[in-house]
Chains A and B, each alone.
Chain A
Amino acid sequence: MIPVGFEYARPGSVDEALALLTEHGEDATVLAGGHSLLPVMKLRLAAPELVIDIGRLPELSYITVDGDEVAIGAGTRHSTVETSSVLATECPLLPAVAATVGDPQVRHRGTLGGSLAHADPASDLPAAVLALGGDVVLRSTRGERKVPITSFYTGVFSTVKEPDELIVEIRVPRTGTAGWAYEKFNRRANDWAIVGVAVVDGRVGLVNMGSTPLRASTTEAALADGASIADAAALADQRTDPPADLTATADYRRHLARILTKRALTTAAG
């Protein structure tokens, strides 16, 4: 499978990339690791006129502690997140979730910013950042804005990011020793989650339970009111709208969400 032909630009800096995005807007697509973009281009579901390759910009690859948050460059690869000693100490949920993405070859290429931008509700990392209550930093030639992940997603494969904007950074809280867990259910190696549940510090993020990553808000509220793990987890599928496909019915996904939430909350409680 061969993508439709396109023009290719490899800017030498974020500023150059932003200038290209301002000039070309919706006709351009940003390429980071390419492991979400190239498959859809090969299937010809996407046919951008210009591909802007930011995959090797060193200024987008970093993991640093900044106050009570960890700042992660959008171009940081999953394998780097997975093996980060800073994140292992400061935000251990994120490397654990990154380690479940695809396979080693995919994790050598895919990036955190790319995964968040692609906005696939079956992806692991968006729900993890949602459970963490992180922020997405968007930049354009017009300026920079910080969007809470809770208001970043608008639907399947869609976000509030404007065509001239680039995700430059992801900020997550330093959760330290707070309890966390990630439960990912699938039947085949190297597959997307049929359902996934990320828990950290009493917050619950759901993978593949709607058109966007979701928080299990009813479960979180029950926990805050002192409900038992079993009682709170039984509410995990409330206010969700899971898809039905060849791998699972919607009802089965609801069942999985309740069971996996119970397991994740139990693990997180130590």
Chain B
Amino acid sequence: MSATVKVDMTVNGTGTSADVEPRLLLAHYLRDVVGLKATNIGCDTTSCGACTVLVDGESVKSCTVLAVQADGTSVTTMEGLEEAHPVTAAFRAEHGLQCGFCTPGMVMASVGLLSENPTPTEREVREGLEGNLCRCTGYHNIVRAVLAASGQDPQAATAHPSRSGA
């Protein structure tokens, strides 16, 4: 076994510290060392986005980041969002989840997207969430939720002139 390395990172505003093996993934640090289970591990291959968290405000897939790479950073998981966070509120209001497995990653990717682009178009939302898979295929309501969270009317923002009326 390789020598352990001490990591210090702020998780949801609280300082955490542990001696870890360098090969420990950030997703496992959050779930098994810190004990925060919202962050799901889906594909484990950087494809599905279920493990998305924010590192220093930027969305990353925590199954493809070592805990030691996040040493000294500030990490936000879904547990770190306040109950009335506009993105979680919008997912609730717009029915942006079905089974819920992808939801923590989808929400954190959306928070990251809106921090970089506060009023995205529908297309920008779809492209901004291309790294997150919903196997219930509930994408339409997820996109509506992100548009609503950005303060836009999802009905208007998803209206396609070519498909409306006669």
Contacts and interface: CB of A to CB of B under 8 A. Distances in A.
Interface stretch (B8-16, B55-63, B78-86, B87-95): B55-63
Interface in A3-51: 3-8, 10, 31, 34-35, 38-39, 41-42, 51
Interface string A230-266: 0000000000000000000000000000000000000
Which one of A6, A79, A108 has the greatest number of beta carbons of chain B within 10 Å?
A: A108
B52 A105 contact: yes
B5 interface: yes
Given A6-B2, A34-B66, A104-B109, A190 B131 contact: yes
B119 to A, nearest CB: 17
A34 B68 CA distance: 12
Interface in B77-136: 109, 112-113, 128, 130-132
B127 to A, nearest CB: 8
A148 interface: no
Contacts of A201: none
A53 interface: yes
Interface residues of A, number: 29
B49 A105 contact: yes
A255 B58 CA distance: 39
Given A5-B2, A7-B22, A190 B130 contact: yes
B130 A34 contact: no
B46 A5 contact: no
B3 interface: yes
Given A105-B59, A108-B60, A189-B130, A53 B69 contact: yes
B44 A42 contact: yes
B61 A8 contact: no
Interface in B28-73: 44-47, 49, 52, 58-61, 64-66, 68-69, 71
A105 B21 CA distance: 24
B96 to A, nearest CB: 18
Interface centre among A31, A103, A109 (most CB of B within 10 A): A103
A3 B69 CA distance: 15
A34 B67 CA distance: 12
B159 interface: no
Central interface residue in A6, A7, A38, by most chain B CB within 10 Å:
A38
Nearest to B5: A8
A10 B49 CA distance: 27
Contacts of A38: 64-66
Contacts of A190: 47, 130-131
A269 interface: no
A3 B3 CA distance: 15
B64 A35 contact: yes
B140 interface: no
A106 B58 CA distance: 11
Interface string A78-113: 010000000000000000000000111110110000
Contacts of A4: 23
Contacts of A2: 23, 25
B109 A34 contact: no
Given A2-B23, A3-B23, A51-B22, A106 B131 contact: yes
B156 interface: no
Contacts of A10: 68, 71
A34 B69 contact: yes
Interface of B: 1-3, 5, 21-23, 25, 44-47, 49, 52, 58-61, 64-66, 68-69, 71, 109, 112-113, 128, 130-132
21 contacts: A5-B21, A8-B5, A8-B68, A10-B68, A10-B71, A34-B64, A34-B66, A34-B69, A38-B64, A38-B65, A42-B45, A53-B68, A104-B59, A104-B109, A104-B112, A104-B128, A104-B130, A105-B109, A105-B112, A108-B60, A190-B131
The 7 A-B pairs with the shortest beta carbon distances in the complex, nearest first, are A103-B131, A8-B22, A5-B2, A189-B130, A108-B58, A3-B23, A105-B61
Given A103-B130, A104-B130, A105-B59, 5 more contacts: A34-B64, A42-B44, A102-B46, A105-B61, A108-B60
